[in-house]
């Protein structure tokens, strides 16, 4: 089977972004950096691509130019073990110009969208009790950073 590797398009910040992401996620590393040659279209010697791993998952950052930017149509989801992990990733990815959004969504300082979700959300959103599921959904929709304990408390509350 071929391997699917997300390719993230940057103007010129691919290496900087890869270094940032590797500093945020454990067991992460840059594995290769390539450079533009004399054929261009950018100045010879400038960074072309950066291959990196985030907790064992491969990514490529390409410095392709300003023509394309990130939007919410594609995002990365972080399924966290507990609230402490949610808090850590939320703080790290919103630092230095990142933007908080609704329902666990955020944009990092490079404009890449992430959803930071505590483990257990899928089960709640698929709960066979529609009233419990809806109470949990309403609580989640009112939040920025997700708080699983508060969502579960709302889901278990009786109207």
pLDDT of residue 152: 94
Same domain, 37 and 89: no
- The total of structural domains in the chain comes to 2
Residue 52 contacts residue 59 (beta carbons within 8 Å):
yes
The residue from 18, 46, 65 where one domain ends is: 65
Comparing C-alpha atoms, which of 55, 108, 52 is closest to residue 81? 55
Same domain, 75 and 132: yes
Instruction: Copy the structure tokens of residue 64.
Output: 């392709």
The residue from 19, 37, 65 where one domain ends is: 65
**What's the average model confidence in pLDDT over 27-54?**
96
pLDDT of residue 159: 61
pLDDT digits (tens, 9 = 90+) for 94-139: 999 999 999 999 999 999 999 999 999 999 999 999 999 999 999 9
pLDDT digits (tens, 9 = 90+) for 137-149: 999 999 999 999 9
Same domain, 41 and 112: no
The residue from 25, 40, 65 where one domain ends is: 65
pLDDT of residue 104: 97
Same domain, 105 and 127: yes
Whether 153 has a pLDDT exceeding 90, the answer reads yes
pTM of the predicted protein model: 0.92
pLDDT digits (tens, 9 = 90+) for 45-102: 999 999 999 999 999 999 999 999 999 999 999 999 999 999 999 999 999 999 999 9
Whether 26 has a pLDDT exceeding 80, the answer reads yes
Same domain, 51 and 114: no
Contacts of 39 (CB under 8 A, 6+ apart): none
Domain with 51 in it: what CATH number? 3.30.720.100
Write b or e for each residue in 52-70: b if 16 or more Cβ atoms lie within 10 A of its Cβ, otherwise e.
bbbeeeebbbbbbeeeeeb
For 25, the domain range is 1-65
């Amino acid at each position: 089977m071929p391997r699917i590797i997300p390719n993230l398009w940057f103007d010129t910040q691919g290496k900087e972004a890869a270094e940032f992401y590797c500093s945020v996620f454990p067991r992460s590393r840059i594995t290769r950096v390539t450079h533009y040659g004399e054929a261009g279209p950018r100045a010879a010697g400038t960074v072309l691509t950066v291959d990196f791993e985030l907790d064992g998952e491969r990514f490529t950052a390409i410095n392709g130019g300003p023509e394309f930017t990130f939007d919410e149509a594609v995002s990365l989801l972080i399924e966290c073990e507990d609230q402490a992990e949610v808090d850590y990733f939320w703080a790290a990815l919103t630092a230095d110009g990142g933007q908080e959004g609704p329902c666990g969504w955020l944009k990092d300082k490079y404009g890449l969208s992430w959803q930071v979700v505590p483990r257990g959300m899928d089960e709640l959103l698929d709960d066979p009790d529609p009233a419990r599921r809806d109470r949990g959904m309403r609580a989640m929709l009112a939040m920025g950073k997700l708080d699983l304990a508060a969502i579960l408390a709302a889901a278990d509350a009786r109207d």
